Amino acid sequence: MYTLYYSPGAASLVVHWILIELDLPHELIQLDFDKKEQKSPEYLALNPNGVVPTLLIDGKPMCEAAAIVTYLADSHPDAGLSPSPGSETRRYFYQWVFHLANTVQPPFRSWWYPDEPAGEANIKMVKEHARLRVESVFANIDTHLEGKGPYLLGEQLSVADFMLVMLMRWSRGMPKTGLDFPHLAKLANLLRTRPSFKALYAAEGLMEWV
């Protein structure tokens, strides 16, 4: 049994989406960020960083969105959302999942929490740097997809693609969004037409970026 601590549209979104995609029974616990519920002592005992997602698996907490979706995909190999460990495709799967988590996701944290890196006085500069960084990494991924798409692993859909689409969604308020890159847009549209996307939006009460 799975229990997901989430906030609508946050980094928990990809975990929620994969739980739906894999048709895994799960319970949802929404944390109210306005009330700072993610910083409560009870929640910090599960996730000391005070962020979502946390997934309880048989009552034990697991953190980090990219790690969780990789684990879920590996635990349900029949769905084919992660290549077999040891295979050549798996090599590139690791490359993409780590790239998304290590290189693409951090500037989004700066974009959405712009006071964190250098305080209130530097918000404008931090946001400008974050959006330039996102544009640059999105441009590189778009070039990759142009030659080797439609998914990050070519014809093989994987949880890395779901993660990428979540990150693209976070760019919706930027001057140049993920959808302005043609091959990223093509990938996003392939995933946004999946029934799981509609179910995810209904469950989280999301309206924008459909």
Ligand X SMILES: N[C@@H](CCC(=O)N[C@@H](CS)C(=O)NCC(=O)O)C(=O)O
49 vs 143, beta carbon nearer ligand X? 49
Least separation in angstroms between CB 95 and ligand X: 17
Confirm or reject binding of residue 53 to ligand X (CB under 6 A).
Answer: yes
Confirm or reject binding of residue 52 to ligand X (CB under 6 A).
Answer: yes
**CA–CA dist 111, 106 (Å, integer):** 9
**CA–CA dist 198, 210 (Å, integer):** 9
Confirm or reject binding of residue 55 to ligand X (CB under 6 A).
Answer: no
Best CA proximity match to 16, nearest among 54, 58, 59 = 54
Interface with ligand X (CB under 6 A), residue from 26, 76, 90, 109: 109
- Stretch (H or E) spanning 117: none
What number of chain residues touch ligand X (CB under 6 A)? 11
Compute the residue count for the chain: 210
Q: Which stretch binds ligand X (CB under 6 A): 49-57, 132-140, 173-181, 187-195?
A: 49-57
**CA–CA dist 177, 117 (Å, integer):** 22
Neighbouring residues of 95: CB distance < 8 A, sequence distance ≥ 6: none
List Cα–Cα distances, 130 to 32, 52, 188, 192, in angstroms. 26, 21, 21, 25
Confirm or reject binding of residue 83 to ligand X (CB under 6 A).
Answer: no
Are the CB atoms for 167 and 97 separated by under 8 Å?
A: no
Q: State which amino acid sits at residue 182.
A: P
Confirm or reject binding of residue 104 to ligand X (CB under 6 A).
Answer: no
Q: Mask 28-47, x = binds ligand X (CB under 6 A)?
A: -----x----x---------
Least separation in angstroms between CB 12 and ligand X: 7
> For ligand X, which residue has the nearest CB?
51
Confirm or reject binding of residue 70 to ligand X (CB under 6 A).
Answer: no
Q: State which amino acid sits at residue 189.
A: N
Interface with ligand X (CB under 6 A), residue from 16, 17, 20, 64: 64
Binding positions for ligand X, rule: CB under 6 A: 10-11, 33, 38, 50-53, 64-65, 109
